[in-house]
Amino acid sequence: MSEIFINSYSAICNLGSSLDTIFANAIKCGNEFFTNDSDIVKDKTFPLGKVKTALPAIDDEIYNLRCNRLLLYCANQLVSDIKKAINKYGKNRIGIVIGSTNAGSDEYEKSGNIKHAMIGNPAGFLKKQLGLSGYYCGVSTACTSGIKAFAAGKKLIDSGVCDAVIAGSTDAICKTPVFGFHALEVLSQKPTLPFSKNRNGINIGEGSALFILEKQPQEYSVKICAIGETSDAYHCATPDPQGTEAARAINLALKEANLKYTDIDYINMHGTGTISNDLMEANAIKTSSLDKTPASSTKSLTGHCLGASGGIETALCCAMLDTRLNPKNFLLPHFYDNNYDDKLPLLNLVQKGQQASRLNFILNNSFGFGGSNASMILGRACV
């Protein structure tokens, strides 16, 4: 398999609309970026990670979806690099893989246009918008969709189908998952508290992230060292409490990357703030001997952006590895009430302002409904 590098990337979420702002606000560590919303569930108010930035318009009614406007915002930030890739490889040799869980479900409810509900709509939109003629697809594996988009993009390059891939993920706040998580009694009316003994559920967020994947690195590239993928086959909505297959995904990634657990310098956890997810992930990390590794969940800052979460969190991890944005090796802090659940294996949660003496390799976890597990290791290209 060939080495694959992230050579350019962009993101938007409730923390901001540029990488430097998003990263700076994440390091600042607080929940002031949530918006209290009482419009979706009757007589209930929930904190949501809403994007407040003005988004570009889309004229084509088939693609006029909020998730696509979020995606277009990210694409507009990469216009110069995308043009360079087209000039280098040609329009038919650049693939597109976009992860999403909702596409245009809310818009479909009003329009009745089935194309709004198609999970491949964002990928089709981006292909048309950029004038490409190569392979494109949507990925929807619940909350692992963002990392699974990288796995698909990597395989397209490894197999020779594409010379470069524009991979990413996008999701807008949608009524269906809000109602769904509320029905499961895991939607919190307060800011989420991952790994706290007082945790009582998740907050929903929205956003998008986009990445250009290539074989040849550039000066500040991030290397995709490995991606481990497994499935629980345990329960449609509840993870295996032991985290057996989640731990196997982590260890598959370590093996593929030819790394030991001691080589990992930071873990970006899935960390949703539900009783069952945090138990599963803490056990998986402990089983993988990574319980002493600095770790945090950024969902207490952004909310759970569902299909977009893996992409947004990957962008945060890339920013952490980028010495231009993070010259002092700051780690993304874990924001909660500091009351750790002592029923969980003890993890090494990152404190606000904490810096790493070494920051070469990052483990990024995503776990989803249906027992979908994905763990990606990112590294500085020069290591």
Catalytic annotation, residues? 143, 270, 304
CB under 8 Å to 59, separation ≥6 — which residues? Answer: none
- The residues near 351 (Cβ < 8 Å, ≥ 6 apart) are 333, 334
Q: For the chain, what is the HEC assignment?
A: CCCEEEEEEEEEECCECCHHHHHHHHHHCCCCCCEEECCCCCCCCEEEECCCCCCCCCCCHHHCCHHHHHHHHHHHHCHHHHHHHHHHHCCCCEEEEEECCCCCHHHHHHHCCHHHHCCCHHHHHHHHHHCCCCCEEEECECECHHHHHHHHHHHHHHCCCCCEEEEEEEECCCHHHHHHHHHCCCECCCCCCCCECCCCCECEECEEEEEEEECCCCCCCEEEEEEEEEECCCCCCCCCCCCHHHHHHHHHHHHHHCCCHHHCCEEECCCCCCHHHHHHHHHHHHHCCCCCCEEECCHHHHCECHHHHHHHHHHHHHHHHCCCCCCCCECCCCCCCCCECCCCCCCEECCCCCECCCCCEEEEEEEEHHHEEEEEEEEECCC
Cα within 13 Å of Cα(182), Cβ side: 17
Q: Do residues 300 and 336 lie in contact, with contact meaning Cβ atoms separated by under 8 Å?
A: yes
Quote the CA–CA distance of 5 and 158 in Å, as a whole number: 12
* Cα 196 to Cα 207: distance, rounded to the nearest angstrom: 25
Q: Are strands 348-349 and 361-368 parallel, antiparallel or unpaired?
A: unpaired
